[in-house]
Amino acid sequence: MVNPPVVVTIAGSDSGGAAGIAADLTTFAALGVHGACVVTAVTAQDTTGVRAVHPVPLEVVAAQLDAVLEDLDPIAVKTGMLAGPDVVRLVARRCAGRILVVDPVLVATSGAVLGSAAVAAAYREHLLPVATVATPNEDEFEALGRPSGANVLVTRGGDIETDNDHGTGCTHSSALASYLALGDDLATAAARADAFVARQLHVSRNWTLGRGRGPVAHVHTSVPPTQGVPA
Ligand X SMILES: Cc1ncc(COP(=O)(O)O)c(N)n1
| Contacting range for ligand X; rule: CB under 6 A; set: 2-10, 11-19, 87-95, 217-225 | 11-19
Number of residues counted as binding ligand ATP (CB under 6 A): 22
- Look at residue 159 and give the partner it binds from ligand X, ligand ATP, none, a contact being a CB closer than 5 to 8 Å depending on partner kind: ligand ATP
The reply to whether 46 sits near ligand ATP by the rule CB under 6 A is: no
Binders of ligand ATP in range 96-155 (CB under 6 A): 103, 105, 109, 135-137, 140, 155
Where does 92-199 show beta strands of DSSP type E? 99-102, 133-134
**Cβ–Cβ under 8 Å, residues 143 and 187:** no
**What are the Cα distances from residue 123, in Å, to 71, 80, 90, 95, 214?**
27, 12, 11, 13, 29
Instruction: Give yes or no for residue 172 binding ligand X (CB under 6 A).
Output: no
Task: Spell out the residues 6+ positions from residue 109 whose beta carbon is closer than 8 angstroms to its own.
Answer: 19, 165, 166, 168, 169, 213
**Is 198 near ligand ATP (CB under 6 A)?**
yes
Q: Which residue is nearest to ligand ATP (CB)?
A: 169
Which residues 6+ apart lie within 8 Å of 140 measured at CB? 104, 105, 106, 107
Q: Of ligand X, ligand ATP, none, which one does residue 201 interact with (CB within 5 to 8 Å by kind)?
A: ligand ATP
Among 168, 174, 178, 204, binds ligand ATP (CB under 6 A): 168
**Which residue type does 125 have?**
E
SS3 state at 41: strand
Residues near ligand ATP (CB under 6 A) are 103, 105, 109, 135-137, 140, 155-160, 165, 168-170, 172, 194, 197-198, 201
